[in-house]
Structure 1
Amino acid sequence: MPYDRDLLLFGAKRHAVLGLDEIQQYGIDSYQDQDYVSIYGLRPPQAHAMGVRMLGRTAVECTRDDLAEAIASDVAALANRCASTSRLVVDPFAGSGNTIFWLLRKLEGARAVAFENDPLVYDVSSKNLALLNLPLRLECIDFPLGLEHVRAAPGELVVAFIAPPWGRALDVRLGLDLRRTEPPVVSIVKEFVRRFDGNPMLFAIQVHERVEPESLTDLVSHFDAFEHKVYELNRAGQNHGALIGCVGWSP
């Protein structure tokens, strides 16, 4: 039985806490790399020894170190071109919290809040993140409700990392349909714009190397400026990227 996306995301291992051997087997079976699922700057053996644990679905859905650091570096480079020097980072679908870990490393002095509505994922990730001593508040709540309690200072740059569950939105032939993520990406962007109206905003949206064209065109129409990045970290067809968009300002 291969340790692949179907088993860990849709199968019997979805809500199971994986052993170190299972995390490494997923990396081997899916990416020919036993250290593929490295998070918090730690290879799987280091993370496991530290007490970090992971559910099956999180092993698939997490933004691993190589990708998270690349996204965070590009976000920080663009954020540094904004006049605001105060940054609030918000992750509405925290999962492992690895991307917000890297964003806080790259955005010096930023504060952060993250939401995770799956109680099992929240329980595991909150314990993991507690080991890292981050300036981060993680809440177990649906993000629209959570956002109502988040306050941005006047003029503060709101940095939103958006990576909702892809589920069946990723088609191996057509790519990622941003209208079929759970929830659709555009609806998330609109919710943030409504909530933080008047603040400059920077969205970092994790995408696949192939994105369904109409869904991409629809999304970028909501930005004042954007950059589309693809990170060639895996073999062709397995790479991810980021769509980084500005609202309320332009670099």
Structure 2
Amino acid sequence: MLQVRDLTKRFGGFTAVDRIGFDLDEGEILGLIGPNGSGKSTTFNLIAGALTPSGGSIVLDGREIGGKSPTEVCHMGIARTYQIPRPFRKLTVLENVAVAAYYGANSLISRSEAWRRAEEALALTRLPNDPGVRVDGLGAAGLKKLELARALATQPRLLLADESLGGLDEQEMDQAADMLSDIRREKGITIIWVEHIMGVLMRVVDRCVVLDHGEVIASGLPHDVAHDPKVVEVYLGSDAETIQTQVAGRRAGSPTGPEAAVC
């Protein structure tokens, strides 16, 4: 579905992303992980059209999308969330999501269709679709869900989820992770997930790509990545044993999705 080849982004003399490459199969959940400053968000911005690559290519379904505008990328079926939700505070929850439905459609749609898509996205993210619910009534978890609902309302085939667990408690993290799995299962949406909460991410993703200083240092199944000496050294550190145990528990269970055939 997506092919990233030699993707590079320079800011003056600083290289934030240095010739990275990976493939993404339709229906996968891919974890993009690494320490702060490793190039994860820059990679998202390049795929989503917020930044123009300095080199390399990003190919979606055989079409080059590197350098296209965010609007064009959205119309091609890619949506993203942001680490810090910034909803329209003067609009209701339903109106916030309906605006995204209008934006994501690569054609004119009716008000009723925009509202239908908004209600569907709210149902997927387990948010109320009552027209009177205000954004100010949502807590941290609710705002994260709203960010996800707005992305889903654009009808994406590929979702870029950027740190969907930040600021949530343990129960909310588990619910958010389950939500991403449900979205893949119910809507067939392919997902790239950037996250720092490794114990939760590793239970959900099919594969991982690990970045450090803008380069890919490892990729593969969660179990293999969690035991990779380089990943342990530069990223997992003292948490490595705990994460490895959590991944082992996942492997002993019954995973679903593409990874079930190989895990």
Per the normalisation by structure 2, the TM-score is 0.33
TM-score, length basis structure 1: 0.34
Structure number having the greater helix percentage: 2
The structure number with the bigger radius of gyration is 2
Structure with bigger RCO (C-alpha 8 Å, 6+ apart):
2
